Amino acid sequence: MEPLYEGKAKRLWATDDPGVLRMEFKNDATAFNGEKKAQFEEKGRLNNAISNRIYALLEKEGIRTHFVREIDETNVEVRKVEIIMVEVIVRNLAAGSFCKRTGVEEGRAFSAPVIEFSIKSDELGDPLVNDDYIRELRLATPEELQHLRTAALKVNDLLSDFFSRCGLRLVDFKLEFGRLKDEPGTIVLADEISPDGCRLWDLETGEKMDKDRFRRDLGGVMEAYREVLARVERATGG
């Protein structure tokens, strides 16, 4: 059997239910739009476990997501969606490309969350775009974009609070959304939420607990992911 889709960190497989797919987390890690590559034996398992717990929590708080149920250590059932080709990034503190673009020092806290959009395209290097680009490229309607913005801010509030209970500062993160195939007009949170697509800093030590350990060759990548999972499990009751 062939996957329906293979991305850098996940594969999507058909199931018997046409409205449901199996999403498999791979052990591959990439950075800088796939330029830097490595394999981490446990990454699929850790990200699947972290992401599923977070999606279950968001669902409980009224955020609609693609999550259906965890199948096993590296597989989850998700609703079939048409991915909106816009990555939604929310920032609470300056880091990463924000610092590179502006010269601001890493760690400056913002007075309010910064939202940015980029086109989901490795070939183009995920370019930063604004609302007008998104409208003219027909990536999303203005109404859909408003929904993405509102949902992203709500996710930020919920997750900032959740991760602080884990002793972690949610510095920034990336979300992807999709249009439900069997429920036209409904947009849900898709993809994953894991240390691959979030910056998480230990609240006490400031230590980086996310994919920046890989991007910057800091070592201890899986140790950090394992620690994030342990804290997420504790905060969600095992």
The residues binding ligand TMP (CB under 6 A) are: 89, 95-98, 126, 172-174, 197-199
Buried b / exposed e over 103-126, threshold 16 CB at 10 Å, is: eeeeeeeeeeeeebbbbbeeeeeb
Distances in Å between the Cα of 173 and the Cα atoms of 49, 91, 106 are 18, 7, 15
- Using rule CB under 6 A, residue 85 touches ligand ASP: no
Stretch that binds ligand ASP, among 28-36, 42-50, 58-66, 107-115 (CB under 6 A): 28-36
Tokens encoding 189: 């949170």
The option from ligand ASP, ligand TMP, none interacting with 89 (CB < 5 to 8 A, set by class) reads: ligand TMP
Helix (H, G, I), strand (E, B) or coil at 129: strand
Which range touches ligand ASP (CB under 6 A), out of 13-21, 25-33, 48-56, 182-190? 25-33
Q: What is the C-alpha separation between 189 and 193, in angstroms, rounded?
A: 10
DSSP state of 141: -
The residue within the footprint of ligand ASP, chosen from 31, 63, 85, 153 (CB under 6 A), is 31
Other Cβ atoms closer than 10 A to 94? 20
The partner in contact with residue 34, picked from ligand TMP, ligand ASP, none with C-beta cut-offs of 5 to 8 angstroms by kind, is: ligand ASP
24 phi and psi, to 5 degrees?
-105, 125
Q: How far is the CB of 125 from ligand TMP (least distance, A)?
A: 9
Residue whose Cβ sits closest to ligand TMP: 96
Q: Which residues does 218 contact at the CB level (< 8 Å), separation at least 6?
A: 208, 212
Closest to ligand ASP by CB, 180 vs 210, is 210
Using CB under 6 A as the binding criterion, the count of chain residues that bind ligand ASP stands at 8
When binding is defined by CB under 6 A, the residue of 4, 5, 18, 34 that contacts ligand ASP is: 34
Length of the chain counted residue by residue? 238
Considering only residues 192 to 231 of the shown chain, the ones binding ligand ASP according to CB under 6 A are: 211, 215
Can residue 179 be called a binding residue for ligand ASP (CB under 6 A)?
A: no
Cα(190)–Cα(62) distance, rounded to whole angstroms? Answer: 15
Q: By CB neighbour count within 10 A (0-12 exposed, 13-18 middle, 19+ buried), where does 148 fall? A: buried
Interacting partner of 201 out of ligand ASP, ligand TMP, none (Cβ under 5 to 8 A depending on kind): none
| Contact status: 111 vs ligand ASP (CB under 6 A) | no
Question: With CB under 6 A as the contact rule, which of the stretches 31-39, 54-62, 84-92, 105-113 interacts with ligand ASP?
Answer: 31-39
Q: Which residues bind ligand ASP (CB under 6 A)?
A: 8, 30-34, 211, 215
